[in-house]
Amino acid sequence: MDMPPVETTESNNSSMISTNISMMDLMFDNRRYRVTPETPDIKQLATDLIHNYNLEEPFFVCDIGQIIKKHEAWNLYMPRVRPFYAVKCNDSPLVLETLAGLGTGFDCASKVEMRKVLEIGVSPTDIIYANPAKPRSHIVAAAEQGVQTVTFDSHVELLKMKRYLPGAKLVVRIRCEAERAQCPLGMKFGVNIEDATELLNAAKSLEMDVIGVSFHVGSGCMDPPVFYRAIAEARILFDYAARELGYDFSLLDIGGGFPGNTGTSIVEIAGVVNNALEDFFPQGCGVEVIAEPGRYYVAAAFTLVTQIHSIREIKSDDITRYMYYINDGIYGSFNCIMYDHAIVRPEVIGIRQSDEVNLFECSIWGPTCDGLDQVCSSELLPKMEVGEWLVFPDMGAYTLVAGGTFNGFPLPKVHTVASAITWNSLKDVMKTLAFVVDDVPVFPNSGVGYNRDAVGWGCVEEAVIGRVVSHFSNETEDGQLINLASSATSDDESSISSSESDEGQSSPTEEGVIEENNF
């Protein structure tokens, strides 16, 4: 059940403008963070959301702090390798905006992904169009948008580039597969070294500019030594291109395959990569090294929260088993089971968390009428009741982005949180997002801040940008809404108008809807 709308007013010289935004909209807006004073406890936060807003639909909780930690670890263990985030993995605006603020590049597979990244202010030079087989219209879109770095692995693709993107900076993709990977890719993309040399010969005859080599060992790589073999093979191609064709390659793309689930680490892979780079592409050789991590950044940042809506009790041979039906399944967020070979594990929240003794065998099923819509075939859980909730950690990779609404069941919304420390580290680089500080929205880099007295805690006071214009209402203990709105002077409004103009944002409309880059 949605909370009542929150009213705020802004005054200017000509009119009073009213904006109605429900607190539910604030909590589940995919362009807002909620800032918390401390590092968020995801299970407790999920429990609070369920109780405070009487939720029944599934939802995600995204902890942006997890993405920050992954980025810090990447820079620590592989400082020479610049990450180009694989947008296909999770294209949430919050994820893209955060990573752009951190300075990553982006690996895009289509014109839609390129547009999403460009719309948040990313330079075309920070994009690699890393789909080796591209539709004509997507190549044209890349040309129109200024994206030039493109991968290829066939002669046909070379001819398309020559016709539709003649100024492309081409990267030939070779095949070097991991012996064990969650999602192998070699059967579809990449060529061996012999075929790659022929492609380079053809590119030279077409007077196309080839600038480097790429490979992808497979998504979710479990064979770290493969990176050494792949980098060694890339060196062979670098040498051939220089010796035989006069190319001066300047880019090595080591692709993806980096683990991201809770408890995993890139330390082992990083050690292999660093050793290979030292052996074949030493510091100062003039070659830029990039990678295409996807699940590494987002897998652990997202937790899915689902409700049990139906239960069947199965008795056989004096053993009782339970079938739990939840409100998300393989046609929604759990499509990762089918397409990403994911193994998901449920966890209980609330009063069941303390019950570690009385466990029963159960299976977990999605909400659709398809008999294949099974999430877990065999788990041990406390005896659950209808209306109780299960959470699934490590659900940020290849989930929402590939989900559908079969049988009319909606995809979950995302509630995104960040600690005050995380928010402080990001505030100056965010361009289009709004933050929600203790249920009060804050618009970074737009001239609108928050009032410490209204919010009730001051640990992020120094992070505020600009002057206070208005506040969305907060709740009293009995659930009623109190108005925390404050008026701005004409000077304040003038300052804000100037700031919005600088950022390419519009003023409030006559209907009272605040528009900020489609926010």
Q: Assess contact for 263 and 214: CB atoms under 8 A.
A: no
Q: How many angstroms separate the CA atoms of 54 and 4, rounded?
A: 13
Query: Cα 98–458–93 angle (5° rounding)?
Result: 15
The catalytic site residues sit at 369
Question: Three-state DSSP class for 341?
Answer: coil
Residues 6+ apart with CB under 8 A from 164: 136, 139, 140, 143
Q: How many CB atoms lie under 10 A from the CB of residue 31?
A: 16
Nearest Cα to Cα of residue 454 among 437, 478, 435: 437
Longest dimension (CA), the chain: 79
Amino acid letter, residue 373: D
Distances (CA, A) of 50 to 59, 76, 350: 10, 38, 10
Q: Assess contact for 114 and 147: CB atoms under 8 A.
A: yes
Alpha-carbon 343 to chain mean position? 20
CA atoms within 13 A on the CB side of 26: 27
**Phi and psi at residue 43, to the nearest 5°:** -65, -40
Q: At what angle do helices 64-77 and 267-280 cross, to 10 degrees?
A: 40
Amino acid letter, residue 6: V
Q: Assess contact for 324 and 364: CB atoms under 8 A.
A: yes
Torsion of the alpha carbons at 215, 219, 225 and 229, rounded to the nearest 10: -20
Q: Assess contact for 150 and 171: CB atoms under 8 A.
A: yes
Q: How many angstroms separate the CA atoms of 96 and 116, rounded?
A: 8
Pull the structure tokens for residue 115: 């547009």
Nearest Cα to Cα of residue 391 among 454, 474, 328, 313: 328
